[in-house]
Structure 1
Amino acid sequence: MAVLETPGAAGEPEIEVQIRGLMLDPVTNMPIVVLKEVGSDVVLPIWVGVFEANAIALELEKTETPRPMTHDLLRNLAKGLNATVRKVVVSDLRADTFFASIWMEQGGETVVIDARPSDAIALALRWDCPIYVSSKVMRHTRQNNAETAANVGADDLKRWLENLNEDDTGQYKM
């Protein structure tokens, strides 16, 4: 488990994750970003909007666009203001909604900005900075996955998420 030494805003340790895949939910046809804990098989699925998934997919595939997309604009704006994005953190889960923060540094000061996880992830990809999930969110997710798995039966959901392969994720194609 890769845990950031410095706790997040809530004092909780942060667990480093990587994007495991970007896929469509087979039931709802909504995009899912699947985050995987570094050094572990623990996964965190986050349902996102179609436009945000497209922004993530474009960067994962290193696709050039003729004009800056919104997340490219945000990167360019931060660079123009001499700021650097240091990390993004999926920091909370309330009423089935994930919350995130973007940690930036400007002029020697840390600035933390509230964001949707999909936007934070899209920006993190453009800055090539680490993505973290608070340990509180991971604990809550593990608990919910266990409850859902009990309802689905025989840990089918957990196995499905943990055994994703490149064909399942479509190699980031939407």
Structure 2
Amino acid sequence: MGLAGIALDASSRMPIVLLRDLSGRRQVPIWIDQAQAHNIMSGVQENPPLRPLSHDLMAALLEAGGLRLKRVVIHAIEDSTFRAVLQLQRQVKEAETPMQLPAAMEIDARPSDAIALAVRTGSCIWMLEEVVASASIPVDEEADAEDQDAFRRFLDDISPAAIVRHLRSRDGQNERKEDGSGLEE
């Protein structure tokens, strides 16, 4: 899966992280909160924050501890909540570290935290097929591209004067409806 972006739910005004499968045909929306959206986006932006954020610190701690985030796996949906694990891999040989760590381990994580960490470390985001099948929405890239092209043509063809005329005519219709003169019998 790849991070397609973060959108805003039109009705709830809650952020949604959109993960797109590699074929580009399906997206999985995961509702998150504002802080989680900020954490993910700050990991994607090219200008890092002046001070490390929590997920920057987590990535640095993994590296300092000789661990690498191999991948994030979103493996289940339970009670409308996505479940994820961090798959970690030891980077250093056992003799080089005072801690006795297994060569590989999994740690339970919220998908939003896992995604925020993955974008900082350049790690893969995997999602089990049954999760994709049950939670995905189809994406029609061709239709999206056509809509974008039509909107660009509309913007190229529209003039400020036409916008003002449209707004004035709309406002005039609203005024007639408010005073009752626009009502039909």
What CA RMSD, in Å, does the superposition of the two structures yield over aligned residues?
2.2
Residues 68, 163 of structure 1: alpha-carbon distance in 2 compared, 3 angstrom cutoff: farther
TM-fit CA distance, 1:138: 1.3
- Give the 5 Å matches for 1:1-174: 17-106=1-90, 107=92, 109-142=103-136, 158=138
Name which structure has the greater RCO, CA cutoff 8 Å, separation 6+.
Answer: 1
Number of residue pairs matched?
A: 136
Give SS of 2:105's match. Answer: strand
* Structure 1 counterpart of 2:124, one-letter code: P
CA contact 1:18–1:35 (8 Å) conserved in 2: yes
Whole-Å Cα distance in 1 between the matches of residues 142 and 132 of structure 2? Answer: 15
TM-fit CA distance, 1:101: 0.6
Runs (4+) off by over 3 Å: 158-165
TM-fit CA distance, 1:116: 0.4
5+ residue gaps, structure 1: 1-16, 146-157, 168-174
TM-fit CA distance, 1:51: 0.8
TM-fit CA distance, 1:159: 6.0
Give SS of 2:62's match. Answer: helix
Higher strand share: 1
Residues 102, 161 of structure 1: alpha-carbon distance in 2 compared, 3 angstrom cutoff: farther
Whole-Å Cα distance in 1 between the matches of residues 120 and 73 of structure 2? Answer: 15
TM-fit CA distance, 1:73: 0.6
Give SS of 2:119's match. Answer: helix
TM-fit CA distance, 1:62: 2.2
5+ residue gaps, structure 2: 94-102, 149-185
**CA-to-aligned-CA distance 1:38-82 (integer Å, 9 cap, x gap):** 023111000111111101111112231121100001001101101
CA contact 1:43–1:161 (8 Å) conserved in 2: no
* Structure 2 counterpart of 1:50, one-letter code: Q
Give SS of 2:24's match. Answer: coil
Larger radius of gyration: 2
CA contact 1:89–1:134 (8 Å) conserved in 2: yes
* Structure 1 counterpart of 2:7, one-letter code: M
